[in-house]
Structure 1
Amino acid sequence: MYLQQLTVINFKNYTEAELQFSRGVNAFTGNNGAGKTNVLDAIHFLALCKSYFNTIDIQQVKQGADFFMLNGTFERDDVPEMVACSVKRGQKKLFKRNKKEYQRLADHIGQFPLVMVSPYDSSIIMEGSEERRRFVDNVISQADDRYLDELIVYNKVLANRNALLKSIADTGRFDPPLLEILDEQLVASGTRIFQKRRAFMETFTTIFDQYYRFLTGEAERVELVYDSQLLNAGLGELLKRSTEKDRALERTTSGIHRDDLVFSIHGMPLKKFGSQGQQKSFLIALKLSQYNYLLQQKGFKPLLLLDDIFDKLDEHRITKLMQLVSQHEFGQVFITDASAGRVQRIFEQIGVDLKLFNVAGGEIVSGE
């Protein structure tokens, strides 16, 4: 799969832009703040119905405008697929595929799989468990169209259970049968999600180990471990054990919404003991593993978006990474970097063709 062309209207700092892409490597260079990352975010929005950086759609509209529009033509197996998106103030977001509007945006997820690597990914390591669950859910949702529906069900039941716990605390009225019904629903959905996450992690960790060793020359020992309460007991049992605690805290303390990933280097927490370069290598290995997993599950190559990834990586790791993503295993790649000279030099060294775009002040010029 690859993206042939992209049209952007009133998106972030762009009034209008129309771009034609290479099937291989496409690089956007220019000063910081010029809008390089915004092009990648537009591609992400078309593929996954949202910005990578900001969940509030209306904030993607160019200042002074009332709407934005994105249009793209994807190609898979020589068949063009047209995707269009529009967001207008005061109206719902519209998504169309081949001119037919989606009734549920969830049905679009996974149709055009995509992996984004960004400096913002540091939150996966540095922030709380929610960021790591979001990463896992993003990967599985693009590969399994029923997973996202299961998550929606679980989160709705979880919200209802938490509301009931708060009501019990506020009114003093405890309704065991109602709590039991919600527990049964949470167990059914949560157990299915846990099983999918565990199966995913069994495959994913093996892929991850291979990529990290490649990037670092096997110089460092890292571990990626799935941590879930359900590894030790069934969700039904966990909920029964924590009933009194849940009532006291007015929230559900057991379930897959507490799952986490544990990252370590040489047996120590990566967050505290990993250098910036080691952490970035870890994140890149995570994202390349996501790419490989989606390739295996979907049977075709996702898009790979690399935003400002050369920062904090030494020359050796940069060259290894570019050699890797330029191989046959990978498909279309989009890169941003401040230095056109650096990008050209790297790809000349590894003998890979490059389509270069210069970005300045919301204007994009192709320079083959």
Structure 2
Amino acid sequence: MYLQQLSFINFKNYNEAEISLAEGVNAFIGNNGAGKTNLLDAVHYLSLCKSYFNPIDSQQIKQGADFFMINGVFEKNGNKEVVACGLKRNQKKQFKRNKKDYQRLADHIGFLPLVMISPYDISIIIEGSEERRKFIDNVISQTDARYLDEVIVYNKVLANRNSLLKQIADTGRYDLELLSIFDEQLAASGTRIFEKRRAFMEAFTPIFNRHYQFISDGAEQVELAYESPLLNEGFGALLKRNTERDRIMERTTLGVHRDDLQFNIHGMSMKKFGSQGQQKSFLIALKLAQYTFLDQQKGFKPLLLLDDIFDKLDDSRVTKLMQMVSNNDFGQVLITDTSMERVQGIFNKINVNVKIFKVTEGNINA
């Protein structure tokens, strides 16, 4: 699978743009603020129905305009697929595949699998557990259409249970029957989510370890571990044991909504003890493992988007990374960088062809 043509109107800092891409490596070179990252975000929209960076769709519309449109022509399994996304101010986002509207955006997730690596990914390491759960959910939802629906169901039941706990605290009336119903629903949905996450991590962790060892040339020992209270106790028993605590806290204190990933280097926290280069290598290995996992599950190669990733990586790791993503294990790659000389030097060194685009203040030229 690869993106043949991309066009957009009034998207972020672009009035209008249209480009044809190479099936292999494509590099977008320009100064900071020129619009390189916005271009990658347009591709992300076509794959996952949303911006990678900003959840508010209306803020993607160019200032002074009333709408944006993005259109992509993809080659997938020998077929031409035209995907379009549009939004008018104060209206519902529209998404079409081959001119046919989707009834649910969730039905598109996974059709055009994509992995994006960006400096913003550092939040996966340094921020709270929500960022790491988002990472897990993003990968699984691109391979399992029912998983996203299950997460939605779980979050609705969780909100209802939390609302009841607050109501009990406010009124003093303890509706044990209704709480038991919510417990049963939450435990059933949460257990299904846990089992899918556990199975995913069992398959994913060895892939991650292999990628990190390649990037670091085996110089460091890292660990990726899944943390969930359900590893040690059934969800129903967990809820019963914590009922009194939940009543006091007025919320559900334990469950898969609190799951986390532990990142270590040499047995210590990557967040506290990893250098910037090591943290970046860890993130890149996570994302490349995501790519390999999607490839294995889908049976074809996803798109790989690399946004400004050369900074804070030494020359050895950059070369190893580009060797990896340019070989037959990877498909189409889109890269952004500020230095034409750096990009040309890297790909000349490893003898790989790259199509270069110059980006200047919302204009793109091959």
Query: So what's the TM-score if we normalise by structure 2?
Result: 1.00
1:176 paired residue number: 176
2:14 paired residue number: 14
Report the secondary structure of 1:197's partner residue.
Answer: helix
Work out the number of aligned pairs and report it.
366
Q: Deviation of residue 171 (structure 1)?
A: 1.0
Q: Deviation of residue 45 (structure 1)?
A: 0.6
Please give the per-residue CA displacement for 1:195-234, whole angstroms capped at 9, x wherever unaligned.
Answer: 0000000010000000000000111000000000000100
2:51 paired residue number: 51
Q: Deviation of residue 160 (structure 1)?
A: 0.6
Q: What pairs up with 1:153-232 in 2 under 5 angstroms?
A: 153-232=153-232
1:340 paired residue number: 340
| Distance in 2 separating the partners of 1:159 and 1:74 | 39
1:38 paired residue number: 38
2:117 paired residue number: 117
2:278 paired residue number: 278
Q: Deviation of residue 52 (structure 1)?
A: 0.3
| Distance in 1 separating the partners of 2:249 and 2:66 | 44
Q: Deviation of residue 256 (structure 1)?
A: 0.2
Q: Deviation of residue 254 (structure 1)?
A: 1.4
Q: What pairs up with 1:65-104 in 2 under 5 angstroms?
A: 65-104=65-104
Percent identity reads: 72
| Distance in 1 separating the partners of 2:20 and 2:167 | 56
| Distance in 2 separating the partners of 1:101 and 1:93 | 11
Moved segments of 4+, more than 2 Å: none
| Distance in 2 separating the partners of 1:87 and 1:157 | 31
- For residue 171 of structure 2, what is the amino acid of its counterpart? T
2:319 paired residue number: 319
Q: Deviation of residue 348 (structure 1)?
A: 0.8
- For residue 9 of structure 1, what is the amino acid of its counterpart? I
2:132 paired residue number: 132
Say which is worse superposed, 75-84 or 277-286, in terms of deviation: 75-84
- For residue 33 of structure 1, what is the amino acid of its counterpart? G
Q: Deviation of residue 26 (structure 1)?
A: 0.4
Report the secondary structure of 2:142's partner residue.
Answer: helix
Q: Deviation of residue 331 (structure 1)?
A: 0.1
Report the secondary structure of 2:145's partner residue.
Answer: coil
Structure 2's unaligned 5+ residue stretches are none
Q: Deviation of residue 78 (structure 1)?
A: 1.5
- For residue 147 of structure 1, what is the amino acid of its counterpart? Y
Please give the per-residue CA displacement for 1:317-362, whole angstroms capped at 9, x wherever unaligned.
Answer: 0000000000001000000000011101110111111100000011
| Distance in 1 separating the partners of 2:341 and 2:220 | 31
**Is 1:303–2:295 an aligned residue pair?**
no
| Distance in 1 separating the partners of 2:127 and 2:22 | 36
Report the secondary structure of 1:154's partner residue.
Answer: helix
| Distance in 1 separating the partners of 2:365 and 2:147 | 40
| Distance in 2 separating the partners of 1:186 and 1:73 | 41
Report the secondary structure of 1:22's partner residue.
Answer: coil
2:142 paired residue number: 142
| Distance in 2 separating the partners of 1:344 and 1:78 | 31
Query: So what's the TM-score if we normalise by structure 1?
Result: 0.99
Q: Deviation of residue 77 (structure 1)?
A: 1.6
| Distance in 2 separating the partners of 1:131 and 1:174 | 34
| Distance in 2 separating the partners of 1:222 and 1:254 | 28
| Distance in 2 separating the partners of 1:121 and 1:254 | 26
Report the secondary structure of 2:81's partner residue.
Answer: strand
- For residue 261 of structure 2, what is the amino acid of its counterpart? L
Structure 1's unaligned 5+ residue stretches are none
Please give the per-residue CA displacement for 1:43-88, whole angstroms capped at 9, x wherever unaligned.
Answer: 0011000000000000000000011000001111220001010011
| Distance in 2 separating the partners of 1:90 and 1:231 | 45
- For residue 336 of structure 1, what is the amino acid of its counterpart? T
1:151 paired residue number: 151
- For residue 347 of structure 2, what is the amino acid of its counterpart? F
2:262 paired residue number: 262
| Distance in 2 separating the partners of 1:6 and 1:224 | 36
Report the secondary structure of 1:192's partner residue.
Answer: helix
Please give the per-residue CA displacement for 1:155-190, whole angstroms capped at 9, x wherever unaligned.
Answer: 010011111111111111110010000111101110
| Distance in 1 separating the partners of 2:24 and 2:217 | 26
Q: Deviation of residue 4 (structure 1)?
A: 0.5
Q: Deviation of residue 311 (structure 1)?
A: 0.3
| Distance in 1 separating the partners of 2:3 and 2:87 | 21
Q: Deviation of residue 152 (structure 1)?
A: 0.5
Please give the per-residue CA displacement for 1:224-278, whole angstroms capped at 9, x wherever unaligned.
Answer: 0000000010000000011011011110011100100000000000001000000
Report the secondary structure of 1:14's partner residue.
Answer: coil
- For residue 181 of structure 2, what is the amino acid of its counterpart? I
